[in-house]
Chain A
Amino acid sequence: MKDIKIKVNDLSLYYGDKKALNEITMDIPANKVTALIGPSGCGKSTFLRCINRMNDLIPSVSITGKMLVEGVDIYDKNVDVVNIRKKIGMVFQKSNPFPKSIYENIAYGPRINGMKDKTELDEIVETSLRQAAIWDELKDRLDDSALGLSGGQQQRLCIARTLAVSPDIILMDEPASALDPISTSKIEELVHQLKEQYTIIIVTHNMQQAARTSDHTAFFYMGNLIEMGKTNSIFTKPVQKQTEDYITGRFG
């Protein structure tokens, strides 16, 4: 792995006294899709939210260890969390478009970054929606409320919204878990296309999805990182017994 985007070093996270992540150390490659798998409650979401510091919102959380993005420790005192999140976008498990029009949903990010020019905004809205492969479906109804879209459309809109602020890294927390098979495959396809430009980290507990979409896979269990490697080798010849058990469906 030559291009390391994120280096995690001995990262532990506590919810109050409860340890949810236990000394995680791993390297996440640039411009690849990394899948995080593991049974429910093993800490996948918690780990993902460490990467863009969303856990800051929970008062009881304390974190030790280092999270280096391109060599910079994002938990350093002098780092502004807002600037981190601009570069590290996030797509949530449950689609959460704003109660605004489709256009306003996409334009929100650029607007808060100070973009006012209407033509520039129009352009960003279009390219973002195109990137998210939803432009053709929505181009005639940009002024409609985003809440009137189907679940799959909403989720792709949320991806487009994330792309509109041109991040480097995109975090996805089970982005297709609430969607039908067709929408799911559209999202997977999208992930595949986006990895050329972005580093993508995707949480899933759908094994096939991990196998289909990712280049690397990390297996979490009870707050520990059990094993990480090329998706191929994890799914065909896992090193750890627990990984094998999980993949073959013997637990979880």
Chain B
Amino acid sequence: MNSESPIKKTFTQESLKKQFRLSEFLAEKFISMIAFLSIAIIFLIFIFVFKESLPLFSFGSDAKAKTEAQATSANKPESYGTEPEGDLKPESYGTENAEDLKPESYGTETTKDLKPETYGSEPADDLKPEVYGDAPKEDLSVPAEDESVGAVSENQEGSDKTWNTFFTSEWVPVSENPRFGLLGLLIGTLKVTIIAMLIAGPLAVLAALFTSCFASKRVKEIIKPIIEMLAAFPSVVIGFFALMVLASFFQDVFGYDSRLNAFVGGVAMALAAIPIIYTISEDALAAVPKTYTEASLALGASKWQTAFFVVLPAATPGIFAALLLGVGRVFGETMIALMATGNAALVSANPFESVRTFAATIGAEMSETVFGDTHYSVLFFIGSLLFIFSFALNAVAEFYVKGKLLKKFQGK
């Protein structure tokens, strides 16, 4: 460089120096943090739900201990079915904590004088099993002090036995010999889902096809918001409608016996699923480039042919995603299932028989079950199943849409 004539330089180290943009940096970090947080929350929910069903998975040594516990307490299961435990527990918590009686209450009956007061008028002999029965619950809610007791009687049934009942058809969670047959629930859920999708799928997709391909602009502006408004209907209202109106109407039409059944539930759930499927399908159809439509019409295809053979296939990925979301909605729908399906876990192919769905089972029984008990674990296990299923559904949608369809449509 020569020094005498100072040339005005545009590109100097100084002017090109790296800058640190604090606000952009922070915004970027903030956005990514939120993203990870939301993912983390989803997984935490799953972990929490799954954790509660973990006792079901302690086979082997634990199971042995449990079966022993079962053997030593012959009459225990009774306490689940018949005793109004809810009323008793708070009292026993209170007194035990206050008077430091816990260790004794598990051992021999040194506190004979106290107990009759706590439990009211019941004979002292009947008491013991109940105390044992309550123990695990205390163990989980109150920080554990007597771990040995908790481990032994965590489950009234052994895990093996519970698992064996899973594959039966009887759902009798509250009885002397509880059976958790998931088969009936599974069939019920599938039946309702299939019926709902058979109704909602074609209706919603055809309605979407109509609005995007045939309807004039004005008709479209009327129809679209109306169908989308259905999505804002609380499902309890749809369920109520199904319960009061649809059930009687279909009974008159088809003349079946059980007034609330899979068909009524399916129709009601279709009402809930249609807006979702419609909205997403309509978006997918509207996103199909107009040039395809023009190309088809210019070849002498009618509107109808263009809609079915060009527009609809081009929107397949979106419609597929819409249908899967619809399945997810129906599968997890609780309130309508509770109100309109009859809630009887029957194994039958007849669409006009009552069914009980997974989601409805959780909804109906969660508030009545006992914390930490097998029934409780099973309900959370069902929750995990629902979660896994919808996760798998979305994964399939993702891979199918992204992989197969896009490859097909966009070349190799």
Contacts and interface: CB of A to CB of B under 8 A. Distances in A.
A41 interface: no
A31 B294 CA distance: 25
Given A145-B408, A148-B410, A94 B291 contact: yes
Contacts of B294: 54, 57, 92, 96
Nearest to A95: B291
Interface in B39-60: none
Interface stretch (B17-25, B260-268, B308-316, B334-342): B308-316
A83 B299 CA distance: 10
Nearest to B412: A148
Interface in B389-412: 407-412
Given A112-B305, A112-B309, A99 B410 contact: yes
A113 B291 contact: no
Contacts of A92: 291, 294-295, 298
Interface in B269-312: 289, 291-292, 294-302, 305, 309-310
Contact of A82 (B301, B309, B314, B408): B301
B299 A165 contact: yes
A6 to B, nearest CB: 17
B299 A52 contact: no
A100 interface: yes
A113 B309 CA distance: 13
Interface residues of A, number: 34
B341 to A, nearest CB: 41
A52 B297 CA distance: 10
B285 to A, nearest CB: 14
Contacts of B289: 96
Nearest to B410: A147
A147 B411 contact: yes
A109 B291 contact: no
Interface string A36-74: 000000000000000010100101000000000000000
Contacts of A149: 411
A85 interface: yes
A233 B361 CA distance: 86
Contact of B409 (A52, A54, A57, A145): A145
B196 to A, nearest CB: 30
A54 B297 contact: yes
Nearest to A162: B299
A165 B301 CA distance: 11
Given A83-B300, A99-B292, 15 more contacts: A54-B294, A54-B297, A57-B297, A82-B301, A84-B300, A89-B299, A90-B298, A92-B295, A96-B292, A98-B295, A108-B299, A108-B310, A144-B412, A148-B412, A158-B295
